[in-house]
Chains A and B, each alone.
Chain A
Amino acid sequence: SQQGEEDPQALSIQEGENATMNCSYKTSINNLQWYRQNSGRGLVHLILIRSNEREKHSGRLRVTLDTSKKSSSLLITASRAADTASYFCAPDLTGGGNKLTFGTGTQLKVEL
């Protein structure tokens, strides 16, 4: 069963705008990861935030984590058409056997 749920399911923005995606999960985690998938391709790891971290940056990506609310957000700043993809969060659950399960993702479309 999936452990992370992304919101919104779909997001359409103009190039240059920021895109924010949210993730909610249900139980305690070791870390939470965000992945990206281009249509018909495998997933690419974007960023990992540990349970004792609250915010992390990587280039144009900013991830926040609120363990009290069991939620995370992914912000993509100054979006580009090439950012068009599906984005998934994957909570690495405590005692979860190191396996990751994925929600339905957020389908981001960045238009020129």
Chain B
Amino acid sequence: GAVVSQHPSWVICKSGTSVKIECRSLDFQATTMFWYRQFPKQSLMLMATSNEGSKATYEQGVEKDKFLINHASLTLSTLTVTSAHPEDSSFYICSAREITQTGELFFGEGSRLTVL
């Protein structure tokens, strides 16, 4: 089955630093990837839709300059949390849809960010 790899799986950083999370589709091409964040015991909140070769589409209330998304190739999207603060601590999950499919999403294992 299709595999999405997310890295790092966990990261601890100091307040004010930037953190980059990578999302790779390992055995398929994905024109579209999605980034979610999840607080403990809560639902996944869609942050943005990442489109290969174009600007990401952000959901309402998500700061574009805070959460930089780059989708440089059909297999890689990155999320950079800039100038991270403790309130950015969360579980970030990416997902991808295969280029030929319009159905299921394949999810990465998530990245737990803790900002001190």
Contact = CB atoms under 8 A, between A and B. Distances in A.
Contacts of A48: 103-104
Interface in B57-99: 57, 91, 93, 95, 97
Contacts of A2: 43
For chain A, the bracket of interface size reads 20 to 34
A42 B43 contact: no
B109 A41 contact: yes
B104 A45 contact: yes
Nearest to A92: B103
Contacts, number: 59
Nearest to A4: B43
Contacts of A99: 34, 46, 49
Interface stretch (A17-25, A58-66, A73-81, A102-110): A102-110
A111 to B, nearest CB: 19
Interface string B32-44: 1010100001111
A101 interface: yes
Q: Is the interface of B mostly helix, strand, loop or mixed?
A: strand
Interface of B: 4, 6, 32, 34, 36, 41-44, 46, 49, 57, 91, 93, 95, 97, 102-110, 112
A98 interface: yes
Given A42-B93, A42-B108, A100 B43 contact: no
Interface of A: 2, 30-31, 33, 35, 40-45, 48, 88, 90, 92, 97-105, 107
B6 A42 contact: yes
A90 B97 CA distance: 14
15 contacts: A2-B43, A33-B103, A33-B105, A35-B105, A35-B107, A40-B112, A42-B110, A43-B105, A90-B105, A92-B103, A99-B34, A99-B46, A103-B43, A104-B43, A107-B41
